[in-house]
Chains A and B, each alone.
Chain A
Amino acid sequence: MIRAGLTEICRKPIIELPRRDTNELHFITEDGDDVVKLAKWAKEEGFYLCTMVANDERFLEDHVFKLYYVFSASDGKLVIIEHPLTDPKYPFNYASISKYFSSVIPLEKEALDLFGLSPIDNTMNQGFVLHDPYPPDLFPLRPRRSMPDIIKRIEENKTQVSKSESIPLPEGVLSLPVGPIHAGIIEAGQFRFLIAGEIVEDLELRLGYKHRGIEKLFQTQYSLEEGWKLAERISGDSSFAHSMAYCQAVESLAGMEPGASALHWRGLFLEMERLHNHIGDVAAMVHDMAFDLAASRIAVLREKSMQLNADLGGHRLLRNINRPGGVELTRSPNLSEASDRVRELTDQFLSLGKLVLEMPACRNRMIMTGVLSLEQATELGATGLVARASGLGKHDFRLRHAKGVYAARPEMLAEINATIESGEDGALRDSNGSASPTTSRRAQVLKEELRGDVFARLAFRIAEVETSARIIEILLRSLTDFESKQLHEVTPLVESLRRIASFEFGLGYVEGWRGDIMYWVMKGPGNTIFRCKVRDPSLFNWPALVSAVILKDQQSLEEGRSSLLENLLADFPLINKSFNLSCSGNDL
């Protein structure tokens, strides 16, 4: 289907390269116009842009820069479009697809800072991740630039720190910069509000403060076998999802999949991570709504789930478990006790969650606050829970691109589907129907959820906690059945990696608690990493947050009255917590 579509769009047969994984399709085109045409078609077909990888292959076979676009098609395939920049007139420029996929913009800004590649007719400025202390022509990810060299050039840099000029504001509008250092214990990033009275007219984000040069570190300091150590420290709250995506990418390079018990362990810990983060987020949101009695109880449950992490996996944030080729656990956990603990804490959580959803004071704060409409969510390429709460129910990589234990256990997918359908299906929303008790509880939680507001995101978090708890129980049960529980199931990859030609790439993707995480790893000579592109869900969801904060409805604007959808400055902390995005995952 996809092949035929592409050929028709380009009006010529398009070169296809074989991939080991049959779910991945790999096409090459040198023609920039073709890429744009393909993007237009992909948008119409409902594809989702997963990532764009810039790569400096000037010293490899093809002697050019290349871009790799990865799209997720609705039928479970991943479409990779490789685009070498062969036009001698424009060795550093490419035709942008941002007209059709605006989510590509932050990726293009990264490519500009780190490689010096820009769209033809570029209007972007540098400074997305490399701020003023950096010289403008540093381009640290070009492989010939060594780390000591780069550091030397930064330290010799004498360019003046540019003072941002102030833009004249209309009367009555105030500019309010907040950050990068914030009042609470949160990450560093700057929000610049334009406010008229209490209403937020505009919001500009400035991120990149936490840029740690992670992709260069992968290139220079870490081997393929060791890269997980860095991957799990990209965004601490998603430690496990990141290391899992990294390991999958390396495994896909080596052409192997870990054994069944390792896959079960991975599924288990991935869901445990979802559990503790969702519970923590709900606690933070409830705290912001000043319902502290419930908030502190939910915070206890979060603490309990983190203690359970430590008892099962040996680390409160689930680190040091994943290895390329499998998992390594240091102790033999008590699985049946774990199952009781999960059940107890989720039961308590769900009853508190239900209470919060019913409290008039909380509903008042949440409903119609921070609305991300379905159109905006689609347009901006939002991902994860945020997209699902705006009505993109099926946008879940566990369903779209089921891998590992999710592919092996259909009953888990059924659980995930049930959460989504109870939100979509009007009949189920009526809690008086004859649905089973659990379905009706979910339905109750979800009945107002598809509005894309703070309430929807809270309701969806609560529903996903229930789903995760069920998946965890299924997995704990099957892990008890594995005879030796195989704690150290790591298949050595050294041999199989040696057989792989250098400069091949592998994909790893995981639906973390925040959204889909994608790793694109290209092997260098030996067991080095030539390029590792990390794409955290935050990168796509930050623009969605902005859109949710400044959304206005056109009709009220025209009639000159203030609209229901406008947000007050005081709503921002709550909206921000309902998204809970990562700065470190965005800045890399």
Chain B
Amino acid sequence: MKNSRNANVTVLRLFAEQLAKLILPESLYKRVSEAMMSNAITFERLRLPELSAKKRSVFIRHLDCGSCNGCEIELNALSNPVYDIERFGIKFESSPRHADILVMTGPFTRNLEEAARLTFEAMPEPRRVIALGDCAADGGVFKDSYAIRARPGEIDEAIREKGVYIPGCPPTPEEILKGILDVLAKN
């Protein structure tokens, strides 16, 4: 079984190489393959057996409620090969209508209230919400500002009952993955 899979991979790779040879000019083909094969970038992939064992797939939608963009950097990092979030069956979705989980970052500004509410309402039930970062928990450093308001009760309830808070400023990608695991465990 393992052998046949390896053979398949080899066939695919040979095919890709032939294709690349066909469509790329020769000098360029050489450059690309050299750069890709010889200049190997080694890295250690994060292992999270508990999450792999879940064997469930969830779609996540991100919602910026006034973050400093630090939390977004770490959310984006989840897609790089070190964390490779899709191997756990977790995918970032571009429409709230297809999402299972809403990840909210930032302290909830007044100017975004309407847009945030509409995004939440556009999600189908059952919907889960994750409050990501210290800002989303209690406002963080922006807590006492006039421009920040309390989240609508509905969303807050969704976080408390079946969602999670992931603390940190920003939480590391690993912490975010563990937070998603917690949501799966809760449901």
Contacts and interface: CB of A to CB of B under 8 A. Distances in A.
Interface in B87-141: 92, 94-95, 106-107, 109-113, 115-116, 119, 140-141
A233 B147 contact: no
B41 A297 contact: yes
B72 A186 contact: yes
B77 A235 contact: no
A584 B79 CA distance: 23
B68 A584 contact: yes
For the residues of B in contact with A, the DSSP-based class is mixed
Interface in A273-299: 280, 293, 296-297, 299
Given A180-B115, A348-B41, A188 B66 contact: yes
B73 A317 contact: yes
Interface string B140-164: 1110111110000000000000000
A547 B18 CA distance: 43
Interface stretch (B6-14, B28-36, B47-55, B178-186): B28-36
A216 B146 contact: yes
Given A186-B64, A210-B66, A296-B81, A221 B144 contact: yes
Interface residues of A, number: 61
A348 B36 CA distance: 10
B39 interface: yes
A235 B41 contact: no
A299 to B, nearest CB: 4
Interface stretch (A147-155, A449-457, A519-527): A147-155
Contacts of A352: 35, 39
Given A147-B144, A180-B112, A233-B169, A293 B36 contact: yes
A230 interface: yes
B146 A140 contact: yes
Contacts of B75: 185
Contacts of B106: 210
A301 B67 contact: no
For the residues of A in contact with B, the DSSP-based class is helix
A582 interface: yes
Nearest to A208: B111
A93 to B, nearest CB: 25
Given A181-B115, A209-B66, A236-B69, A300 B146 contact: no
Contact of A304 (B43, B73, B79): B43
Interface in A175-228: 180-181, 183-188, 208-214, 216-217, 220-221
Interface stretch (A246-254, A261-269, A353-361, A409-417): A353-361
B31 to A, nearest CB: 6
Contacts of B73: 236-237, 280, 317
Given A184-B94, A213-B142, A237 B69 contact: yes
Contacts of B36: 293, 297
Contact of A210 (B32, B41, B64, B144): B64
Given A180-B112, A217-B144, A302-B80, A235 B172 contact: no
Contacts of B113: 133
A304 B92 CA distance: 22
A233 B94 CA distance: 26
A211 B43 CA distance: 39
A156 to B, nearest CB: 13
Contacts of A359: 28, 32
A510 to B, nearest CB: 17
A358 B35 CA distance: 12
A544 to B, nearest CB: 19
Nearest to B118: A181
A299 B45 CA distance: 13
Contacts of A304: 43
B70 A133 contact: no
Contacts of B41: 297, 300-301, 348
Contact of A213 (B43, B67, B115, B147): B147
A303 interface: yes
Given A181-B119, A301-B41, A355-B31, A584 B146 contact: no
20 contacts: A130-B111, A131-B110, A147-B145, A154-B146, A181-B64, A181-B116, A188-B66, A209-B66, A209-B112, A213-B148, A214-B145, A216-B146, A237-B70, A300-B41, A303-B80, A317-B73, A348-B41, A355-B32, A358-B31, A584-B69
Given A131-B111, A181-B64, A212-B148, 16 more contacts: A140-B146, A180-B112, A181-B115, A210-B67, A210-B112, A211-B111, A216-B146, A221-B144, A293-B36, A299-B79, A301-B41, A302-B80, A358-B28, A583-B69, A584-B66, A584-B68
Interface of B: 28, 31-32, 35-36, 39, 41, 43, 62-77, 79-82, 92, 94-95, 106-107, 109-113, 115-116, 119, 140-142, 144-148, 169-170, 172
Query: What 9 pairs between A and B have smallest CB-CB spacing?
Result: A236-B70, A183-B94, A213-B147, A213-B145, A299-B80, A236-B68, A150-B146, A188-B64, A236-B69
